[in-house]
Amino acid sequence: MSDRVLLVEDEPILRANLCEMLQRAGYEVAGVPDGETALQLALEQDLAVVVSDIRLPGMDGVELLKRLMAERPETVVLLTTAYASVETAVEALRYGAFDYLLKPVPFEDLLRKIQHLVAYRALQAEVARLRRDLHSRLGFEGIVGDSPRMRAVFDLVERVAPTRTTVLIMGESGTGKELVARAIHARSQLAEKEFLAINMAALPSEVVEGQLFGHEKGAFTGADRQREGLLRSVRGGTVFLDEIGDLPLAAQAKLLRAIEAHEVLPVGADHPVHVDFRLIAATNQKLEDRVREGRFRQDLYFRLNVFRVDMPPLRERREDIPALVSHFAFRHARDLGRRPPGVSNEAMKLLMEYEWPGNVRELSNLIERAAILASDEVIGPGQLPIELHGSASAPLELRDALQVFEKEHLAYVLRLSEGVRGKAATLLGIDAATLYRKLQKYGLG
C-alpha cells in the first residue's frame, strides 16, 4: 500500500514547506501548483491521499475532485480552503471529498488528518481484499454460495462436467440455471468451444424448427437463403436450451432425434445432416405435469432427465444471502464507479427474512437499486423497498400506506438531488413551500 501524498498548492513557499515537513514525517510527497498537473499524476500513480487547495489557477480543487471521483473513485481527497470558500468546501463533500481544513492549516492538524486518511485507505484496501477472497472462496464459476444445498449442486457439476451427458437443470426463475449450465461447460472438455444459450420462450413457435435445425432456401415464405441452424452452428460446443418446456411438440421429435442420432433434417431438405453438440436444458416448469397434459413428449423428457440438477430457491438457502449481498454490492458499486457499500444489521435482517419470489435475480436487482440510493456508503432499511419491511410494519389503510410511500419517495428524490431542495421540488413537480411543509411533516427537513 502506497504512502504517497500529493499536495496541490499554488503558493510556492507554502507548498515547499509542507512538502518538507511531510517528508520528515515519513511520507513520499509530490507537490504541484495546479489541478491539471495533479490530475495527471493522480491518474498515473498510486496515491494514498490528495491534499488540494480549492482556489487554484485553471482547474480548481472542486473540479479536480469531480474528475478524480469520475476516473479514480478510490482516491482519498482532503481539501484546504480559506474562510471565504467554506460553503464551497462543504458542497465539495457531496462530490466525494473526505474532509476539509481551514487555512492557514496548522501542520499538526494536517499531519493528523493525513495519518487518519492513510489508515482509512489501508482499511478500505483490506476490506476489498477480503471481499475478493470471499468471492474466490465462495464462488464457483461465478456462482456464489456455501450452503449445503449449493455444495450439493457444485458436486453434481463437478461429476457431470467431464462427460458429454445431457443435463436437465430444474428450478424457479432467477435461481441461476444458466450460470450452472455455463459452469458445466467451463469445466468440460468442450470449454474452448462455443457455449450457445437459446431461450425457447423468446422464439416464436412458427420459426423454432428453422432456427434450431436449419432450413433450405425457398422452404417457406421469406426463406430467401439457406440456414444451417443453431444446433449445427456450435460445431461440437454446448447448446443450452432454456425454458425447454416451451418447445413446440412438432420440434420435440426432431430434438430427440438430434440428441440420439446426432442428425437433423432441415426444413425443406430431403436428407438429414450431421450435428455435433452437447445439450444442457433448463426449465422452471414441472415437465412431469406437461407430459401428463400431452404437451411434452415422454420419450424426450426421459432422454433429457438422464442427469438432473435441481436449483434450490433462495428462501431455502438463506445462509448464502450475506455472501450474495456482498458479491452484488461489490459488483454493482464497481459498475457505478463507487466504493462498495456496507449493509447495516437492520437491513441484513430484512434481507434474511424476505421470501424472495424472484430468487437471486431479484436480490441482485434490489442491491443494485440500494447501492444507487446509499448516500453514506451504508445500505440501511431506508434503501430497501417497502415490501421487505414485513406485513407487520406495512399499514393496511390506504391513507397510511400512501404516506409511507410519500415519505420514502421524498427521501429518494432528496438523495437524487444531493440535498438541493429547489432541484428536488422541480423533480417532484411541486413548489418549494409545499416541499418544505412535507419535509417538516415527515421529519426530513
Total of domains in the chain: 3
- Identify the pLDDT of residue 132: 57
Please indicate, yes or no, whether residues 351 and 390 belong to a single structural domain of this protein.
yes
- Of 290, 312, 334, which marks where a domain is finished? 312
Of residues 276, 299, 268, the one with CA closest to residue 196: 276
Task: For residue 411, give the H/E element and its range.
Answer: helix 398-416
- Of 312, 333, 368, which marks where a domain is finished? 312
In sequence order, what DSSP letters do the residues of 326-360 get, joined into one string? HHHHHHHHHHHTSPPPEE-HHHHHHHHHS--TTHH
Please indicate, yes or no, whether residues 241 and 221 belong to a single structural domain of this protein.
yes
Please indicate, yes or no, whether residues 271 and 415 belong to a single structural domain of this protein.
no
- Identify the pLDDT of residue 391: 43
For residue 342, the domain's CATH number is 1.10.8.60
pLDDT in tens, the chain (445 residues): 467 899 999 999 999 999 999 999 999 999 999 999 999 999 888 888 999 999 899 999 889 998 888 888 778 999 998 765 667 767 778 778 888 888 888 888 899 999 988 888 887 777 666 655 655 555 577 788 888 999 999 999 999 999 999 999 999 999 999 999 999 999 999 999 999 999 998 888 778 888 899 888 877 767 778 888 899 999 999 999 999 999 999 899 999 999 999 999 898 888 999 999 999 999 999 999 999 999 999 999 999 999 999 999 999 999 999 989 988 998 888 888 888 888 888 889 899 989 899 999 999 999 999 888 876 678 888 888 888 876 444 555 666 666 767 777 787 777 777 777 888 888 888 888 888 888 877 777 6
**Residue 120 burial class via C-beta count within 10 angstroms: exposed 0-12, middle 13-18, buried 19 and up:** middle
Q: For residues 91 and 97, give the distance between their C-alpha atoms in angstroms, rounded to a whole number.
A: 9
Please indicate, yes or no, whether residues 186 and 126 belong to a single structural domain of this protein.
no
Domain, as residue range, for 70: 4-135
Helices (H), 161-207: 177-186
- Identify the pLDDT of residue 346: 85
Please indicate, yes or no, whether residues 308 and 351 belong to a single structural domain of this protein.
no
For residue 95, the domain's CATH number is 3.40.50.2300
Looking at this protein, which amino acid is placed at residue 325? V
Contact 205, 255 (CB under 8 A): no
- Of 293, 312, 331, which marks where a domain is finished? 312
Please indicate, yes or no, whether residues 271 and 356 belong to a single structural domain of this protein.
no
Looking at this protein, which amino acid is placed at residue 233? S
Please indicate, yes or no, whether residues 300 and 173 belong to a single structural domain of this protein.
yes
Q: For residues 421 and 438, give the distance between their C-alpha atoms in angstroms, rounded to a whole number.
A: 12
Please indicate, yes or no, whether residues 245 and 390 belong to a single structural domain of this protein.
no
- Identify the pLDDT of residue 320: 92
Please indicate, yes or no, whether residues 335 and 431 belong to a single structural domain of this protein.
yes
Please indicate, yes or no, whether residues 187 and 233 belong to a single structural domain of this protein.
yes
Please indicate, yes or no, whether residues 226 and 263 belong to a single structural domain of this protein.
yes
- Identify the pLDDT of residue 435: 86
For residue 184, the domain's CATH number is 3.40.50.300
Looking at this protein, which amino acid is placed at residue 375? S
- Identify the pLDDT of residue 396: 52
What is the rounded end-to-end Cα distance, in angstroms, of the chain? 41
Give the predicted TM-score (pTM) of the model: 0.59
Please indicate, yes or no, whether residues 283 and 357 belong to a single structural domain of this protein.
no
